[in-house]
Amino acid sequence: MGDLHPLPEFSASTADDFQGTMRSVALEDTAINDMWASSSVSTRGTLQRAFASLDESFSAYIRRRRLEEAAEALTVTGSRLSVSEAAALWHFTDSSHFIRAFKKQYHATPAQFARSLT
C-alpha cells in the first residue's frame, strides 16, 4: 500500500519561503496555525526538517522574530508598552520567560534595552 501523505521535498528555498511568509504575519499562534493549514506541510516536524539545513531551527526562528518585533515596539518613541504587555502580545508564556529570552538575545533586559535606545 502506497504512502497516503508523501513527504514533500525540502531545500533551503523551502525554508526561505516559509521565512518570508512568517515575516508577513503578525507572528501570532493563530496566524501560524493558518499557515500550517494552507500549506502542503502536514506537521511541524516536517518543517523542522526543512530548517535542519539552516543555522536556525524553525522554533528558534519564530522566537527570534517575536523578540525582534518586541524590541522594535519597545523602542518606538512615545511607546508606553510594558514588559508584561509585550510578553503577552508576542505570545510568551509569562513575563519572566520573555525577559530571559530577550536578555539572551540582546544581552539586556527589555527595560534596559528600551532605555538605551530612546
Domain coordinates in residue numbering, the chain: 12-117
What is the tens place of the pLDDT at every residue in 40-83? 555 666 767 777 777 777 788 888 889 999 999 988 877 788 89
Tracing cell 508598552 back to the chain, one arrives at: 81
CA–CA gap between residue 4 and residue 92 (Å, rounded): 36
Q: What global pTM score does this model have?
A: 0.64
Give the number of other Cβ atoms within 10 Å of residue 19's Cβ.
16
pLDDT of amino acid 54: 75
Which CATH topology does 12-117 take?
Answer: Arc Repressor Mutant, subunit A (1.10.10)
What is the tens place of the pLDDT at every residue in 12-26? 555 566 656 555 544
Give me 47's grid cell: 518543517
